[in-house]
Amino acid sequence: MAKSAKASFRDSVVQYEQITREVGAKKFAPLYLLMGEEAYFIDRLGDLLADSILDETRRAFNQIVVYGSDIGAADVANHARQVPMMGGRQVIIVKEAQKLAKIDQLTAYARQPVASTVLVLCHKEKTLDKRSALYKALDANGVVLESVPPHDYEIGNWLNDFIRSKGFEMDTKASAMLTDHLGVDIPKIANELDKLVVSLPEGTRRVTADHIEQHIGISKEFNNFELTKALSERNFAKAMTIADHFARNPRENPLVVTVSTLFSHFQRIFIYNYHRWMAQKGKTPMPDDMTLARQMKLPTTFFLNEYKQAATLYPNAKVFKILGLIRECDMKSKGMGGGSADNGELLRDLLLKIILL
């Protein structure tokens, strides 16, 4: 990836894994800039560096952790230039570096970092300006991680890689349940999975929907994954049963998440219908499954069969109307023309209108 290009979540994952390998091999850079909106990779690498560079005895003398709101950039540079006690290295970790006063004052140090110091800048919430002299110096003489939040269709692959790194596999439904419930909140997903793997019976190597329900508390029967599947099959009795459960448990099943999931679901049906129509007209060939999954923003091709079935039941003339109904429901849920209906009533009304189309 060119440094000037906009980083993607996949780029962040690759950078994170590369830095993790280098730290594991005891290959340390004098400067680390860990920046971006996704805090998970920044926190994990910050902790890894804190635990890996010095042994426990030397940490007491030669490792300090400061916060950007409590110190200025010039003071950080002065600390970094000091000689470590008892030789070896010193480590300075600046948390919340985005709050550093006059951060550009680190530029001179970043241009000529001290070989015996490892300076780690944990710059959350936003990126450092890549046009700045400071960024260019940090990039030239150190290691930069740009941590980008994932899109909803990217989280499934990351989740599966994460669980695999712990020696487990995860069923597709279990993965869908977890991402449906927690969205793209990587810290929450990682935390739940960390707790899950230590709770599993000895010898378990495959995480199932039953495990997710039992240990994390997400219903395997009543969730957005099952709701969209019921709609794909035009199983409206099941869809209304799920909606009733959501109405009784609104905190665990917020309408805003369900509405977003439904909109994405019918958007995908529209995309599949469009490609099929173009192929039938002889205008363009039907894309292969990998291309379709990428265009429909599906985590894997596994889900394509559901959309192929749904497309036969929902022609795009219906899909247009359904997307309009979903937008209308979303507006009502935000207080625009919804009257006195609660979220449970709004969802049931939306599903009923879809049924009657």
Domains in the chain, CATH or no CATH each: 9-147 (3.40.50.300), 155-216 (1.10.8.60), 224-356 (1.20.272.10)
For residues 248 and 244, give the distance between their C-alpha atoms in angstroms, rounded to a whole number: 6
Mean pLDDT of the 262-287 span: 94
Question: pLDDT tier at 267 (50, 70, 90 boundaries)?
Answer: very high
* Contact (Cβ atoms closer than 8 angstroms) between residue 135 and residue 9: no
> Average pLDDT over the chain, rounded to whole?
92
Question: pLDDT tier at 334 (50, 70, 90 boundaries)?
Answer: confident
For residue 146, list its beta bridge partners: 35
Give me the helix-helix angle, 255-280 and 304-313, nearest 10°: 80
State yes or no: pLDDT of 2 exceeds 50.
no
- Give all strands (DSSP E) within 159-217, no chain letters: 169-170, 206-207
For residues 82 and 274, give the distance between their C-alpha atoms in angstroms, rounded to a whole number: 64
* Contact (Cβ atoms closer than 8 angstroms) between residue 107 and residue 136: no
Mean pLDDT of the 194-200 span: 90
pLDDT value of position 339: 64
For the beta carbon of residue 222, count every other beta carbon within 10 angstroms. 19
pLDDT value of position 1: 41
Give per-residue pLDDT as tens, 116-164: 999 999 999 999 999 999 999 999 999 999 999 998 888 888 999 999 9
pLDDT value of position 156: 86
Give per-residue pLDDT as tens, 19-72: 999 999 999 999 999 999 999 999 999 999 999 999 988 998 999 999 999 999
For residue 163 the two structure tokens come to: 């669980």
State yes or no: pLDDT of 169 exceeds 80.
yes
pLDDT value of position 236: 93
Burial class (CB in 10 A: 0-12, 13-18, 19+), 111: middle
State yes or no: pLDDT of 87 exceeds 80.
no
Which of 74-88, 100-114, 313-327 bottoms out in mean pLDDT, i.e. has the lowest? 74-88
Number of H helices, E strands in the chain: 17, 7
State yes or no: pLDDT of 4 exceeds 60.
no
